[in-house]
Amino acid sequence: MPDNEAFKDKADPEEKRATKCLVAIKKQRQISSLDGLEWSLLREIKLLQELKHENIVKLRDVFHNKNLIYFALEYGPIDLGKLIINKKEIMLEPQHIKCIVKQMLEGLDYLHSNWIMHRDLKPGNMIITADGTLKLIDFNSAKIYGSPGREHTATTTTINYRSPEQLFASMLYGPAIDIWSVGCIFAELHLRSYLFAG
């Protein structure tokens, strides 16, 4: 039996260090002992582990406890949806909207350059960190695309931001659906209400 004391100094120094980093905890569905994790959950974990961009939320850790799975994610004090509806306290000048949309498009460009569609872009799926950086979050509906003619689920996007092809139940679409959602959000930032109320 090896002596535990002999292994203490050989432990990874990164594991010993407490980061004291503020995180957001996202609780996910139960883990079934018979079926394992759902494909969408596995896909989300895999994507978040691989995506590295200033405008994509960072996954700090994944852990489970009592048949629940938790994501420890980079923290943002407010999401874009709450910022939009807070008309009385927060004024959005053209330069603010330009900055928000620029960051949104940079994050989206990174996803599309890596053949990934977000498929559920909406203000509630974007956080703003304390330093004003916008981050895309919630990759539960995200999917890798690239094979021409490949069919996808038509109803993944929240209805207020759903593209015309999805509204007509087309299963043949590409990254343009994310651009449509960005256009709806851009209008919403000006109007401070939905462009198309679902």
Residues with catalytic roles: 120
The Cα-based distances of 84 to 56, 78, 122, 159 in angstroms read 20, 11, 11, 18
Residue 7 backbone phi and psi in degrees, to 5: -95, -10
Question: Using a CB cutoff of 8 Å and minimum separation of 24, what contacts does 149-158 make?
Answer: 152/117, 152/119, 156/119, 156/120, 157/119, 157/120, 157/121, 157/122, 157/181, 158/120, 158/122, 158/198
Spatial distance between the Cα atoms of 168 and 152, rounded to a whole number of angstroms: 13
Helix axes 94-113, 176-191, angle to 10 degrees: 170
CA 75 distance to own-chain centroid:
12
CA 111 distance to own-chain centroid:
11
